[in-house]
Structure 1
Amino acid sequence: MDIKVGDVFTWAKTFGEEETLQFAEISGDKGRHHMERDEKGRLMVQGLFTASIGTKIGGDLNYIARKMNNEFLRPVFTGDTITCELTITEVTPAEGYKRIAMTTVYRNQHGKEVLIGSSHGIIRD
C-alpha cells in the first residue's frame, strides 16, 4: 500500500452495552463509573476501548505501533457513535520498512472531540 503524508483514514463504531461489559471482563477495567448506569441508563465506555477504533485502521494498514499518546477529552457512553479520523503526518523510508507518524481525532455523533492522539511506528515493506 502506498501511504503518503496527508492521507486520511476514518472508521466509525457505535458502542453497545454487551461489548462494553465484555471489555470490562477482558481488561479488568471494572471501575464503578463503567459498571453503574448513569441517569440516562447508559454505561461509560472504557477509554482504551474507545481508543481501539484507531487500531482497526492501523490493522488495515499493517501498522506496527511503537508509541501511542492519547488525551481523553470527554466520556463516551454506550449508544454513542464515535468516528476516528487518522491523518498520516510523516513517512520516512528505511531498509525493509517505512517509519510512520500519525495523528488521530475521535468525535462523537454530535461532532464533539472525545479523544485526540498521536502515534509513531512502522509499516514493513
Structure 2
Amino acid sequence: MSVKAGDVFKYERRFTEEEVFEFANITGDKGRHHVEYDENGRLMVHGLLTASIGTKVGEELHYIARELVSEFIRPVFTGDTITCELTITNVEQMEGYKKVSIESVYRNQHEKTVLVGTSYGIIRG
C-alpha cells in the first residue's frame, strides 16, 4: 500500500470489562482504578490499552514503530467508544524502506480528546 503525508486512518473501539481485567493480568498493572468499579459501575481502561487502538495501522501499512510518545489527557472507561485518528505527517523514502511519522488523536463518544501522540517508524520496501 502506498502512503503519503496527509493520509488519515481512523479506527474505533469499545473496551469491555473482560479486556481490562485480561490486560491487568497480562501486564501486572492491577491498580485499584483499573480493577475496582467506580460509582457508575465502570472500570478505568489502562492508558496503554487505549493507545493500542492505533497499532492497527501496523497491520494495514506493515508499519514498524520505533518510537511512540503518548499524552494521556482524560480517563477512558469501559463502555466508552474511542475513535483513533492517525495522520501521516511525513514520509521519507530511504534505500529499501520508508521513514514514516504519524500524529494521533483519540476521542471519546462525546468528542473529547482523551489521548494524543506521535510515532516514528518504518515501512519496508
Q: Is TM-score (shorter-chain normalized) higher than 0.5?
A: yes
Shift >2 Å, 4+ stretches: none
How far apart, in 2, do the equivalents of 1:56 and 1:88 lie? 14
TM-aligned CA deviation for residue 27 of structure 1? 1.1
Consecutive unaligned residues in structure 2, runs of 5 or more: none
Give the match's secondary structure for 1:109.
coil
| Identity percentage of aligned residues | 65
- Summarize deviations over 1:30-88 as a string: whole Å, max 9, x none: 10110111000000000000000000122221100010000000000000110000000
Residue 20 in structure 1 maps to residue 29 in structure 2: no
Residue 43 (structure 1) aligns with: 43
Consecutive unaligned residues in structure 1, runs of 5 or more: none
- Under a length normalisation based on structure 2, what TM-score does the superposition of the two structures give? 0.98
Residue 31 (structure 2) aligns with: 31
Aligned residue pairs total: 125
Cα RMSD of the aligned pairs, angstroms, is 0.6
Residue 119 (structure 1) aligns with: 119
How far apart, in 2, do the equivalents of 1:59 and 1:30 lie? 29
TM-aligned CA deviation for residue 116 of structure 1? 0.1
